Amino acid sequence: MGPAAGSVRARYLVYFQYLGTEFNGVAAIRGSQRAIGVQNYLEEAAKRLNSVVPVKFTISSRTDAGVHALSNAAHLDVQRRSGQPPFSPEVLAEALNAHLRHPAIRVLQAFRVPIDFHARHAATSRTYLYRLATGCHRPDQLSVFERNRCWALRAGCLDVEAMQEAAQHLLGTHDFSAFQSAGSPVVSSVRTLRRASVSPDLGSPFVLPQENRLQFWNLEFESQSFLYRQVRRMTAVLVAVGLGALMPAQVKVILESRDPLGRHQTRVAPAHGLFLKSVQYGSLGGNPACVQQESQGPGGKEAPTRVGQKVSSCSQKQAAWSEGSPSPGPLEPSHTPDPAPVIKFPVGREAEGARLRERGGP
């Protein structure tokens, strides 16, 4: 049976975050398997929206089991019954959070987008953060609050300058076959790495003063898209450089070899140290807290505002999804909200180039 006549299908871009420890990755697990993905919980919560057509989340960036996300993204369609206006993005985000049944998942913010928008194809940039800790000679020396959130190394220090030098060899457009795990059916292994940085962390708030032997480090990688487990394999090689097992110049040799089965490039950093930090869409950016919806002009028509235009700075106005916001009321509000404006996204060659399918996350 088709959708009711006169019903309107609205598409939304939703930002969400999760601790990946208890999930078998972000993608939904279909069937009777016990393993559950983040998407399963999101779609279960979306059932309470009472959409005419079942709501499916199309995830921007796949992440593996144990990998976390400070901010991932997805698009979804909601088709309400005839005569009912589309949900405002604020109501949609609050409703999803109200019905999420896992405390390790949180919807950050939602935007109304054109019906042909695609969360994976339209992404212009993805940034991953990998966290390291040095000076942890035994597992019980790491704070319980940091376990499953960083890669704890037994070494007391890292040669960070050597790691930074090695990372420079990865920048730019290359064939990253040497850093790709088997099983990713991509058409091309050529990617452009825009940023690869190694820097000391200012310190974990969960580490006591007497535990000053522990030092934390951040590795960040930015590209439009990554190959399967590319970030974790690049991290493992850079850590080998920091530990003195590799010279910085050898990273260039590994890259140019295009051989994923070499002695060093087969090593994969643990999943629990990896975070998807942001997904960006043109001028919308990747930090939902710093983005406001387009306003409406006189007569309810969309004002010709720029994508990502801010009404006020983040320091002046709290985002609608911040912790402490009032819980959403019934899904059928007593008042009829104005239809949410649609954010328009530029589509260029770079966005079109992201249409490669990836089996898993970095």
- Residues identified as active-site: 64
What are the angstrom distances between the C-alpha of 220 and each of 129, 130, 187?
5, 6, 25
220 exposed, middle or buried (CB, 10 Å; 0-12, 13-18, 19+)?
Answer: middle
In the DSSP assignment, the letter for residue 343 is: P
Query: Residue 14 belongs to what H/E stretch?
Result: strand 9-18
Decide: helix, strand or coil at residue 170: coil
User: What region, left, alpha or beta, does residue 324 occupy, with left being phi > 0 and alpha being psi -120 to 50 degrees?
Assistant: left
- β partners of residue 110: 14
C-alpha radius of gyration, the chain, whole number: 22
d(CA 14, CA 75): 6
Task: Answer yes or no: are the C-beta atoms of 19 and 68 closer than 8 Å.
Answer: yes
d(CA 221, CA 274): 11
d(CA 293, CA 25): 30
Task: Answer yes or no: are the C-beta atoms of 295 and 305 closer than 8 Å.
Answer: yes
Task: Answer yes or no: are the C-beta atoms of 251 and 169 closer than 8 Å.
Answer: yes
d(CA 179, CA 11): 35
DSSP string for 295-322: PB-GGGPBP-PPTT--SS-TTTS--TTS
Amino acid letter, 156: G
Residue partners of 136: CB distance under 8 A and separation at least 6 = 142, 152, 153, 154, 214
